[in-house]
Amino acid sequence: MTMPEDDPAERKMQFLFALRSKGITESRVLDAMERIDRGPFIRGYFADRAYEDMPLPIACGQTISQPSIVGLMTQALKLSGRDKVLEVGTGSGYQAAILSLLARRVYTVDRHRRLVQEATEIFRALDLTNITALTADGSFGLPEQAPFDRILVTAAAEDPPGPLLAQLKIGGIMVVPVGQSDTVQRLIRVTRHEGGFDYDELRPVRFVPLIEGLGRDTA
């Protein structure tokens, strides 16, 4: 999907059309993705491909997910506008920025300090004041701010992490990719209820693995 660089309106129209064609139908999600420009979150060699529906490399060996996956994961959370959300894996900050328009409060954590710092700069530039970005081991969640209405994990775990399940409110939803193989990962929606958890398989995906500990840039 190549976008004409000299026509921003046409580029945005094609971008939104591509999202709808991939199954993103919730109007609030589409509106948020229209308002948050993906361009500022991609730097360097790949910046001119920001409006293509594909994952792209970012710093620290990580990736920014393709927009259609961002949209589908966001839609799967069923955000109400009043939710407190935890995102595990800040990455570029693009997903957190989308969430910030749809939730009351967003906490986002990443094991790489550089990514958190760069994302925070963008959040400030965009005046997204309801995001708190922290350098932390996301596999343990953020217990000091728990419980959360929604949790979104942007790295693949072998199973939904126990500490994150414990930090989910009754009635809350977590969306997480599971499977350690590069070729076999599934996007799962977990809903917590009084008696336990319900699991819904959404679609095949491919994410970087969820790794315990902090990145080398924070050592």
Q: Which residues contact 218 (CB under 8 A, 6 or more apart)?
A: 111, 112, 113, 135
Active site residue 65: yes
Q: Which residues contact 97 (CB under 8 A, 6 or more apart)?
A: 36, 41, 122, 123, 126, 128, 131
Q: Which of 65, 68, 92, 139 is catalytic?
A: 65
**Closest C-alpha among 165, 140, 21, 27 to residue 88:** 140
Q: Which residues contact 181 (CB under 8 A, 6 or more apart)?
A: none
- Helix then strand then coil, % of the chain, to nearest 5: 35, 25, 40
Q: Which residues contact 124 (CB under 8 A, 6 or more apart)?
A: none
Residue numbers annotated as active site: 65
